[in-house]
Structure 1
């Protein structure tokens, strides 16, 4: 297991090296080497762990020197936040940063705890490492080509690509450290790095909107970090331990509820969802990384770890409600969005809500569903963000309405989009099967409010995905030029993501048996069969399903004529099938548009009530839980 320090330090070293390279070609090579190295190291760790029997491995007992370095690192992060907050006059952020760092230092100095080990490798940690290494590494490769096109379209922004790539790799280093840490103090250190790095990425363009959105993300995540620090301090003072597994086994109310609160903020659940929506101002690779492999997955990872302590508790009930409510509210607001990245952002928040709800219930079936949802969501959402970014660089727009008939204009990108969308919601893909299992578990738990949330949230999910997919495959010819500006390294990343999505669907029973079930055993001590279908039958159904969408797209493009034909439009066609002159001699614009229900489901109408409801429930339940424990 000596590869673990290298796995964490390698991307950190690449992050330090890249800004020193002034030549863009040299930076690109460094990114390729760094991403390839991360994948190789993660595979090496996996092989080493499997050779050891695939059991939990506990590591690093005597770490006094590293503890001091981490404490110094926390102070450096605090000083950086204080400096930037003063510079931009965001003074409340200072209180949150100084408060939690001061609390942690006080806890470590006044009530020191001897930790038997600091890191552990088990099934869930190994899965998260593989997701971060391969999904995150491919996003870094994709970013090399994307950033060239991004700055061609956005000449008004300073080209700081070296800084951008550096932050991507620092994100990966922090994620590896976070998921492998068993000691909560160590986990907190990496947790705060992800908060600061996301803040720096969101503010990449340095516009007023980007700065405001980055500080919103920072203060919301620092609020969760304060909860994390309180949980550590209480666990050290009352339980005499800061080991995550021991805290979960003890079921201590205040540490668990504070850690769960931190997980809710990091996973962008209501009322904290706005920070993830604001992150859309950053270049697309950072959005893909935040949504699929690092930032928000850290939140749901912690909640899944806490799930045995959440089962049949008031804390678990609160987490489940917040997750279920976020699922339906975000999916409803997604209907009203025509910006592709905003649809993906709301979809991310919605799907994370379902994972959080499953973690709150804390039953074997719901955690089985949560882990599979996390796997499918990581791959599909990363691919969709990359496809939207490539479409934006090609069309100069990420408006869904601009993607009308994209199947004929940019077929390769449309195939990738189709596979990603199908992987998110069409039966019987992994996401849908996971939702079905979650629904059954909610019924078994007699939580009928979550049943309603899941039923109606799934219906609204189907509406916005179907609208988008139908827009892509509409056979409508226009004279509008569409040059595919996507570079080979971008396509390499997207093709691998598409292949991974298809393989995950095809090998779904094997993933369930050999990947997910062992995690359930580690968390709960046992696991029973969730799906009753035979492996071969399920694989046959999956095989037919996964080839349906791309095959249909291929047949549609082959069947349609390629010649541009002007159509009658109620007047004199101006020659582009979009403008005509009516009988009064006046110009008219003909366009086909989706129905967005903005009055019914728009952000202006639903976001504030949703935030008020979620915040009210969260505050009341926190008061009841903490008050009852005290």
Structure 2
């Protein structure tokens, strides 16, 4: 119990320390040490409670409730004030209404509801804590080197690194609170705290674009927060419980599905599913560590985490079908929209939306196989996508931009960074890396549950990923313009987290059978009260491990061959006579031209202007359809 308390509170102390210290080098050391301690505490807590788990409540729960209520009022007052100041009255109204409603509930009806287990640590919690604590800490260390270079390149922005680091640690504390809280009001408090952190970090540069995007993110997530608050109030008033585990264990009926729908709606907004995705796309204006931590590895995972917890109440219910279809539209539409992007950060943003949609589908289908796939997708996606985000951030500083078309020089600038980026891309779509394993199991789960429409969506959406990942990978290995060099320094604070995350991508693929045996299967046994089995056979697992081993062994085996290679090397043909450097050639009239390789982005087919409007409308119609089904179920 004490270890969990320290795990939640330590990042708060770290946030306060880095905010108060003004000297750069001292602050940077505090960030590094605090991130290391946070990662260590994470591993200690997991080791202590992984086997048997733990569930308990604090004796001073009333004091905690009071502190949370005070913080809620302060945050609401701040949001209302800035909403009025910038004439964004919608966020002021939303913040006032949901805060007033939840406080009235806490001061009245909540006092009559007994909470036995406010904190629950089970196998799913352990997985989420490791993602938040380990991946989050690595990103905090990365931010030290990144932000130093960031302000060298962007002297027009006010240097507020201390504030930036403090918000990152505050966010880690809030995320720990979300995944550990079984009491819904505590989860709601931490949920809103992550929304506030996202708002602060998106608006870091204080430009007009950053401010507008931060307000958009705040507005959409406050909508989700209002749905969350309404769901909590209905659960407390009608079911006389505030424990998520107790609520999800109840027998579904028409009235129970109302708060389930509201909580699912909150989860969809937090995970940026259509039609709520615009906030995450706008968040890409923030410094890259923000995108890696909040909008890829952790914050958006809070939404899909909640849907996994709600999975026993979803499935074939009207709410379950609604959530599944919204996830399906998001997965398919965003997979296609990513094809038309050349900005690496936008590719990652759209692919993040798509993969979150796939996780939503798997979680809401609600079978043992699909939940198994959903949890593995969370693991693999968090590691691979955070690696890609921070690699893109470093590449931007190395080559001066983040356009995929210009990444053909990265091997000549930083071979190690290019290799790590390739590993991250491979982890997203190549066999036998983890994302493909999870999609394989998801396909099997959808077929077994007769979700034929979802099978089609998964097939076409997965096929679309081939276009943008192979274009990116092709640019990295093309070796065009290899002689171009950069004088930008690759900080050790950036290099170490990138290297560790690249190793974790590979290690997670080798160890997923162990994770399944000791974490996923026990969790599914607990949820479904039965004896769950691994969805793929031992023969398939061995084949995947052999394939993964070959990816490592084969390149090594060619070293002696290349060492003694006596083949004659000749200049390549480039639609003209090679000048001798393999980068330029003599074209028409003897003019010297630079060789250029350009991908086709099919913007006229898959451009965001063409697809986003119709996909948003379709998702909105699906949600309205879900509300109609919900009302129809109550009326009957």
Alignment TM class, shorter chain as reference: over 0.9
1:287-341 deviations in whole A, cap 9, x for unaligned?
0001333210111110000001102211111111111111111110000000011
Show the counterpart of 2:496. 492
CA distance in 2, matches of 1:219, 1:275: 9
Show the counterpart of 1:628. 633
Show the counterpart of 1:434. 438
Determine which of 599, 602, 605 is the counterpart of 2:607. Answer: 602
For the aligned residue pairs, the C-alpha RMSD in angstroms reads 2.6
1:239-271 deviations in whole A, cap 9, x for unaligned?
111111122122311111100110000001111
Show the counterpart of 1:335. 339
Show the counterpart of 1:298. 302
1:61, CA displacement in angstroms?
Answer: 5.5
Show the counterpart of 1:99. 97
Report the 3-state secondary structure (helix = DSSP H, G, I; strand = E; otherwise coil) of the residue aligned with 1:428.
Answer: coil
1:580, CA displacement in angstroms?
Answer: 6.6
The yes-or-no answer on 1:458 pairing with 2:456 is: no
1:584, CA displacement in angstroms?
Answer: 9.7
Show the counterpart of 1:525. 529
CA distance in 1, matches of 2:538, 2:191: 40
1:185, CA displacement in angstroms?
Answer: 0.4
1:441, CA displacement in angstroms?
Answer: 0.9
1:571, CA displacement in angstroms?
Answer: 8.4
Determine which of 63, 69, 72 is the counterpart of 2:70. Answer: 72
Show the counterpart of 1:583. 589
1:577, CA displacement in angstroms?
Answer: 3.8
CA distance in 1, matches of 2:516, 2:573: 52
1:383-433 deviations in whole A, cap 9, x for unaligned?
111111110010110000010253344211111011111111111221111
Show the counterpart of 1:416. 420
Give unmatched runs, 5+ long, in structure 1: none
Report the 3-state secondary structure (helix = DSSP H, G, I; strand = E; otherwise coil) of the residue aligned with 2:303.
Answer: helix
From the superposition, tell whether residues 407 and 626 of structure 1 become closer, same or farther in structure 2 (CA, over 3 Å). Answer: farther
CA distance in 1, matches of 2:566, 2:552: 20
Report the 3-state secondary structure (helix = DSSP H, G, I; strand = E; otherwise coil) of the residue aligned with 1:115.
Answer: coil
1:566·1:576 contact (CA, 8 Å) conserved in 2?
A: yes
1:552, CA displacement in angstroms?
Answer: 10
- Kindly tell me the number of residue pairs found equivalent between the two proteins: 627
Show the counterpart of 2:12. 12
CA distance in 2, matches of 1:571, 1:431: 43
CA distance in 2, matches of 1:306, 1:446: 21
The yes-or-no answer on 1:41 pairing with 2:14 is: no
1:483-530 deviations in whole A, cap 9, x for unaligned?
452211211101111111111111221121112112212222231231
Show the counterpart of 1:375. 379
From the superposition, tell whether residues 125 and 578 of structure 1 become closer, same or farther in structure 2 (CA, over 3 Å). Answer: same
From the superposition, tell whether residues 536 and 118 of structure 1 become closer, same or farther in structure 2 (CA, over 3 Å). Answer: closer
Show the counterpart of 1:613. 618
From the superposition, tell whether residues 38 and 57 of structure 1 become closer, same or farther in structure 2 (CA, over 3 Å). Answer: same
TM-score (norm 2): 0.93
From the superposition, tell whether residues 248 and 155 of structure 1 become closer, same or farther in structure 2 (CA, over 3 Å). Answer: same
Show the counterpart of 1:55. 53
CA distance in 1, matches of 2:321, 2:259: 16
Show the counterpart of 2:388. 384
CA distance in 1, matches of 2:221, 2:580: 53
Show the counterpart of 2:114. 114
The answer to which of 588-597 and 419-428 deviates more is 588-597
Show the counterpart of 1:262. 266
CA distance in 2, matches of 1:283, 1:404: 23
Report the 3-state secondary structure (helix = DSSP H, G, I; strand = E; otherwise coil) of the residue aligned with 1:98.
Answer: helix
Report the 3-state secondary structure (helix = DSSP H, G, I; strand = E; otherwise coil) of the residue aligned with 1:241.
Answer: coil
CA distance in 2, matches of 1:298, 1:616: 25
From the superposition, tell whether residues 65 and 433 of structure 1 become closer, same or farther in structure 2 (CA, over 3 Å). Answer: same
2:151·2:159 contact (CA, 8 Å) conserved in 1?
A: yes
Show the counterpart of 1:501. 505
1:225·1:262 contact (CA, 8 Å) conserved in 2?
A: yes
CA distance in 2, matches of 1:542, 1:573: 41
1:544, CA displacement in angstroms?
Answer: 2.0
Give unmatched runs, 5+ long, in structure 2: none
1:67, CA displacement in angstroms?
Answer: 0.7
From the superposition, tell whether residues 629 and 120 of structure 1 become closer, same or farther in structure 2 (CA, over 3 Å). Answer: same
Show the counterpart of 1:147. 147
Alignment of 1:13-412 (within 5 A): 13-50=13-50, 53-60=51-58, 63-112=61-110, 113-250=113-250, 251=252, 252-412=256-416
Report the 3-state secondary structure (helix = DSSP H, G, I; strand = E; otherwise coil) of the residue aligned with 1:547.
Answer: helix
2:432·2:544 contact (CA, 8 Å) conserved in 1?
A: no
CA distance in 2, matches of 1:303, 1:130: 19
